[in-house]
Amino acid sequence: MREILRISINEEEDILIARRMTKKETERLGYRSVDRTRIVTAVSELTRNIVHHAGSGELIISTNRTGIQIVCQDHGPGMPDVKQAMQEGYSTVGTLGMGLIGAKRLMDSFDIETGDNGTKITVFKKLR
Amino acid sequence: MPPLTKMHFADVLVVPLQEALHDTAAEEITEEIISEAERKNARGVVIDISALDVVDSFLGRLLQETVRALAAMGKKVVLVGIQPGVAITLVELGLPLDGIETAFNLESALKKL
Amino acid sequence: MTRSNIDYESIFRNTPIAVRTVSKDKIVLASNKEMAALSGVPMDKAIGMPCDEQFGGELCETACPLKQAIEGKKIVLEAEKTGANGSEILVRMYASPLVSNDGETIGIIESYIDITREHEDEARIVSFQRELLEVSTPVITVWDGVVSVPIMGTLDSERTQLMMENLLEAIVDREAETAIIDISGIATVDSSVADHLIRTAKAVRLVGAVPILTGINANIAQTIARLGIELEGLKTMSTLRDGLRYAISLQKADQ
């Protein structure tokens, strides 16, 4: 995986920047239009989570020949109920769960590590 | 609040949403749509999202709520210009916007009202 | 044969992989024949040149791996570089620490393999696969304002997605009011197939058209009933003809 871009995520404006840069990268890599939308939407969900739930974090975009990998690392308090947050039935979970579930559905793989130092979410989309 | 174009065709309010709205701006805009519809006593509202090529779960739910609020006020709402990629992502996000009237252009939207 | 009999210098020079050594200050120390061919800079001319001048690319500015390689981190990357004649090439790069006879790390060893061709071939395969999938799920305009897509064989996730995308784009491009999805050619219907179809129908509604599912024969109907699959208000018919008749009646009703 080659790291292409690192964006600091602290406020709402950064969500838009992240979306714009991700859109450019996916265009450059040659993803079909719908997959580009899926990837940018997933980035929107994940960066929103950082801004509204963790406070600050980073978005790291990497690629290799098979596709694009996006890592969202936040410096928040971690999510003690990750399993619960990821379950369906978002009405009880709120926007955090919704965002994670959404990102998971749109991407080909979804990994989450969380602890006292923050949360790291890794998603990947194959180039087709 | 970012500039919002409001057009009136007879008693129908037409509002095109511009690209790249962040959350706070989006909320302000949808509130303004509801206020304007009330102010001008619109019978129907057309929300045009053809300029948006990405609609995430936040905006999706916001649109849903806005439509419900307008419906509660007795106004008919039509959502126009949902791009194929947006339609697919909304469905995949679990937000198929059931019960919300849609049209692919302004002409057919006005016909539905 | 002892070590001293082997001309390692010659092996370095002639190996078919581009290799160069670079000092800590990013100056080229040595460069082999293949490196000269790849970069367009002759072997002896390269010595003393800044490494990004001999062979550089965007990576040099944004994420130069020299520091990490010196620290011993294993570096394997793919990067775009400017090759001989100023052409853009894609290379796989390997970097490891260069250690002097005294055991001191004085720079790095870089090896490059040109993968431009490999990359192009893969891109060609991907685009070929896409075309193949598109050809197998064509969207036909069967009447003014009515499009239809026949689904054949198996409906796996990948094919459904492509079918959905083609269908939606066709609906928007051709301004269709109705979309008939014909499943008479589908091998089996189970709950995951039903899921895909329902999702497609929802997306069709979102772009402003009415979805109709046709090709539901007695067998499929029984399977659906038995599995308790909820088609959630989706209009269904047994033949394409019935579906078309219904679509036209909807148009008449609108007028």
Render the burial of A41-74: b for 16+ CB within 10 Å, e for the rest.
bbbbbbbbbbbebbeebbbbbbbeeebbbbbbbb
SS (H, E, C) A50-90: HHHHHCCEEEEEEEECCEEEEEEEECCCCCCCHHHHCCCCH
Q: What is the pTM of this model?
A: 0.76
Answer whether residue A93 shows pLDDT above 90.
no
H-type alpha helices, chain C: 8-14, 33-39, 43-46, 51-54, 58-63, 66-70, 116-136, 157-173, 191-206, 218-227, 240-254
| Cβ atoms of B113 and C229 closer than 8 Å | no
Please tell me whether residue C69 adopts helix, strand or coil conformation: helix
Q: Does B82 touch chain C (CB under 8 A)?
A: yes
- What span, in angstroms and rounded, lies between the C-alpha atoms of C91 and C57? 10
Q: Using CB atoms, list chains with 3+ pairs below 8 Å to chain B.
A: A, C
**Which of A47-51, A121-125, C164-168 is predicted most confidently?**
A121-125
In this prediction, residue A94 carries a pLDDT of 56
> Which of C208, C163, C154 lies closest to C185, judged by CA?
C154
In this prediction, residue C220 carries a pLDDT of 82
Residue predicted with more confidence, B22 or A46:
A46
Q: What is the pLDDT of residues B4-57, one digit of tens each?
A: 889 998 899 999 998 778 888 999 999 999 999 999 999 999 999 999 999 999
Render the burial of C190-203: b for 16+ CB within 10 Å, e for the rest.
eeebbebbbbbbbb
What is the residue-wise DSSP string for C127-193?
A: HHHHHHHHHHS--EEEETTEEEEEEEE---HHHHHHHHHHHHHHHHHTT-SEEEEEEEEES---HHH
CA distances from B64 to A125, B36, B43, C136, C176 (A): 28, 18, 18, 36, 25
Q: Does C126 contact A4 at a Cβ distance shorter than 8 Å?
A: no
- What span, in angstroms and rounded, lies between the C-alpha atoms of A9 and A21? 13
Range of the domain at A76: 2-126
Interface list for chain C against chain B, based on CB atoms closer than 8 Å: 161, 164-165, 168-169, 171-172, 175, 199, 202-209, 254
CATH classification at residue A84: 3.30.565.10
> Which of C138, C139, C146 lies closest to C242, judged by CA?
C146
- Count of other CB atoms within 10 angstroms of residue C29: 17
Please tell me whether residue C96 adopts helix, strand or coil conformation: strand
- What span, in angstroms and rounded, lies between the C-alpha atoms of B7 and B16? 9
Residue whose pair of structure tokens reads 């772009």 in the numeric block: C207
* DSSP code of residue C19: E
| Average confidence (pLDDT) per 10 residues, chain C, 255 residues | 79 94 94 94 93 88 82 82 88 92 93 89 82 77 92 76 87 93 84 85 93 88 81 84 93 78
Instruction: Provide, rounded to the nearest whole percent, the portion of chain A with pLDDT above 90.
Output: 50
In this prediction, residue A52 carries a pLDDT of 86
Q: Does B89 contact A38 at a Cβ distance shorter than 8 Å?
A: yes
- What span, in angstroms and rounded, lies between the C-alpha atoms of C29 and C27? 6
Render the burial of C228-255: b for 16+ CB within 10 Å, e for the rest.
ebeeeebbbbeebeebbebbeebeeeee
Answer whether residue A105 shows pLDDT above 70.
yes
* DSSP code of residue B18: P
For chain A, the domain total comes to: 1
In this prediction, residue A85 carries a pLDDT of 64
* CATH topology assigned to domain B7-112: Transcription Regulator spoIIAA (3.30.750)
Answer whether residue A91 shows pLDDT above 50.
no
Residue in C63, C78, C123 nearest the CB of A64: C78
In chain C, residues with a C-beta closer than 8 Å to the C-beta of A3 are 63
Residue in C63, C123, C129 nearest the CB of A3: C63
From edge to edge, which strands make up the β-sheet containing C18-23? Answer: C28-31, C18-23, C105-114, C88-99, C75-82
In this prediction, residue C2 carries a pLDDT of 63
Token representation of residue C253: 């009703």
* DSSP code of residue C50: B
From edge to edge, which strands make up the β-sheet containing C235-236? Answer: C140-143, C146-153, C178-186, C210-214, C235-236
Q: Predicted ipTM?
A: 0.89
In this prediction, residue C95 carries a pLDDT of 93
Q: Does A128 contact C158 at a Cβ distance shorter than 8 Å?
A: yes
In chain A, residues with a C-beta closer than 8 Å to the C-beta of B94 are 90, 101-102, 105
> Which of B50, B25, B43, B29 lies closest to B104, judged by CA?
B50
CA distances from B83 to A11, B73, C169 (A): 28, 28, 8
Residue in B87, B104, B111 nearest the CB of C203: B87
Q: Chain A residue with minimal CA distance to C162?
A: A34
